Structure 1
Amino acid sequence: MPTIVLVSGSLRRDSVNTAALATLRRLVTERSAEAEAEVEVEVVPLSIGDLPHFDGDEEQRGDPPAVAAAKSLVARADAVVISTPSYNGEIPGVLKNALDWLSRPYSESALTGRTVAVLSASPGPRGGVDAQLGLVGVLRRVGARVVEHEPVAVGGAEELRTADGDFTDPTVLAGLGSLADAVLAAVGAADARVGA
């Protein structure tokens, strides 16, 4: 069963990035069902709030349980989708910390060769798009295969999110739907490479 891991770069309970990923999850599930695929796509969230601050000394002693679990989940995923807020134009420290853990050790990174897609959401009008450039830079540096796609940035997200914590705005759904299609296509391409 293909697995897609969702990572929100925000720890807020009512995070618009977590809501964007919830909407993407629904769209991926719907598209998978519409395609009448023989194999369902499993979509799993990865919470990064439990990861300790990266510490080289602690790494030398062995990965803490939360880190080992996160690495295992990402390593067996067919794709990862990360939604990031923009903190002063960059990704938040908690997300960078997670990427630092996942990228270690250098020769055995869970992200190397992994298909990763990015998006962002923000209450502001730009939708956190500024943070995407830095996020893509980190992902490429650690050897991830970043999904090529027009940036998806949900601006004014607080107002657009429904009471159920979802997005139904047609423009938002179009962007997230297109990204969902790109991720599913990338997962299919990865399966084809493995089967070749």
Structure 2
Amino acid sequence: MAQTRVLALVGSLRTGSVNRQIAETAAAVAPEGTELTIFEGLGDVPFYNEDVDVPGATIAGADELRAAAAEADALLLVTPEYNGTVPAVLKNAIDWLSRPYGSGAIANKPVAVISASPSRNGAKWAHDDARKSLRVAGGTVVDAELSIGSTSHKLGEQHPRENAEVAREVGELVRALVAASGQLVNA
């Protein structure tokens, strides 16, 4: 069986954020034969600007993001909710990955979203906005959703991978994403 490569994009740039920890959990519970990598350079990607995104241009940060996404079989976005929607850093990444429109690095690629928040809402608005934006950008949004609410209460000081319920739910979503890439045996 070929190795399935999943690229995770985390909407919080804080090193210790629960969303980053959820992405780490996804890597830890991914099915055998899956390599899940967290993209480390989202903070270095400039805001999307069509004036600089021209053929032959070298755009530090954006070129690395596009290359990593192009090499991946699927993408996983892990998002908090900022002011009722997806953080700018994730929306910006989606914008870069959608270009050129119809043939960008995200086109027809399986994508999934996990959202998490201290609120009971579980960043559901950001979750829904991310899925909508990914769909419009040309990604194939998998039929699996996970919003984790009340993270402060549910996790406390615990890493999400130490919480059996959260680890199981994250594992199920990653398994669905890998299955959507067509590379999971016994899906």
TM-score range, shorter chain: 0.7 to 0.9
Task: Compute the displacement of 1:169 (Å).
Answer: 2.2
1:88-135 deviation line (CA, Å, top 9, x unaligned)? 221011111111111112143111011101110111122111211111
SS at match of 1:83: strand
**Number of the residue aligned with 2:36:** 43
Give, in whole Å, the separation in 2 of the partners of 1:190 and 1:142: 23
**Number of the residue aligned with 1:3:** 5
SS at match of 1:180: helix
Aligned residues: 181
Which one-letter code corresponds to 2:63 in the other structure?
A
In the alignment, which of 22, 25, 39 is matched to residue 23 of structure 1? Answer: 25
Give, in whole Å, the separation in 2 of the partners of 1:134 and 1:108: 22
SS at match of 1:106: coil
Give, in whole Å, the separation in 2 of the partners of 1:107 and 1:113: 9
TM-score (norm 1): 0.84
1:46-88 deviation line (CA, Å, top 9, x unaligned)? 1311101111222137241211111011012111100111112
Identity of aligned residues (%): 31
**Number of the residue aligned with 2:126:** 131
Contiguous gaps of at least 5 residues in structure 2: none
Give, in whole Å, the separation in 2 of the partners of 1:42 and 1:21: 12
Q: 8 Å contact 2:115–2:146 — kept in the other structure? A: yes
Tell which deviates more after alignment, 170-179 or 114-123: 170-179
Contiguous gaps of at least 5 residues in structure 1: 33-39
Tell which deviates more after alignment, 157-166 or 118-127: 157-166
TM-score (norm 2): 0.88
Tell which deviates more after alignment, 78-87 or 156-165: 156-165
Give, in whole Å, the separation in 2 of the partners of 1:106 and 1:82: 20
Q: Which has the higher helix share?
A: 1
**Number of the residue aligned with 2:84:** 89
**Number of the residue aligned with 1:56:** 50
Q: Note closer, same or farther for the CA distance 1:87–1:97 as it changes in structure 2 (3 Å cut).
A: same
Give, in whole Å, the separation in 1 of the partners of 2:179 and 2:22: 20
